[in-house]
Amino acid sequence: MALIDFKCKECGNEFFEIINGENISVACSKCGSTKVERIYKGKYYGKGSSCSGSCSGCSGCH
């Protein structure tokens, strides 16, 4: 399982979901829209970070 941050493209709400598996449908917790994008928060995603969120050698920053 993974805790993933999302932002709604409709209302701008930022929220998180606990994801267990692949190809999970996510809806905004505020307005219910499925037009959401994954965002990266935390110290590993700050200014100057080159992390794309999909590195195979990642050891815990996600």
Domains of the chain as residue ranges with CATH: 2-43 (2.20.28.10)
3-state secondary structure of 45: helix
- Please compute the mean of the pLDDT values over residues 32-58 and round it to a whole number: 70
49/15: higher pLDDT: 15
Share of the chain above pLDDT 90, in %: 47
pLDDT band at 62 (very low <50, low <70, confident <90, very high): very low
Burial 20-32 (b: 16+ CB within 10 A, else e): eeeeeebebeeee
Is the pLDDT reported for residue 44 higher than 60? no
The pTM of the full predicted model, rounded to 2 decimals, is 0.63
Q: Which of 1, 3, 29 is nearest to 15 (CA)?
A: 29
pLDDT band at 30 (very low <50, low <70, confident <90, very high): very high
